[in-house]
Amino acid sequence: MSAGWIIAMVIVIVVVVLAVVVFVARFALAGMRRAGKSVGRDLLRGSFDADSAAWYVRDPAGWREEIQRRSAGAS
């Protein structure tokens, strides 16, 4: 084999390895972005049950009374 063929094979191998690394990295990063979004959706989801943050926003007078009632019971 001549030196030209060896250099060409090394270049092809390097290009293929880099392409595989980029391909895998793109999917890994896309998976992390999706995972972050799903966690954020769960954190931002609101419900209106008795202990949810949305209840406090919806009924400010009620939460003040609830805080006073709970703090009086804790003392």
pLDDT digits (tens, 9 = 90+) for 44-71: 555 555 555 665 566 777 777 877 888 8
Domain limits for position 58: 47-75
* Residue 37: φ, ψ to 5°: -70, -40
pTM of the shown model: 0.39
Residue 22 has pLDDT above 90, yes or no: no
Is residue 27 located within the same domain as residue 58?
Answer: no
Is residue 31 located within the same domain as residue 11?
Answer: yes
Domains held by the chain: number: 2
Is residue 34 located within the same domain as residue 51?
Answer: no
Cβ neighbours of 41 (radius 10 Å):
9
**Cα–Cα distance, 2 to 74 (Å, whole number):** 86
Please count the residues of the chain: 75
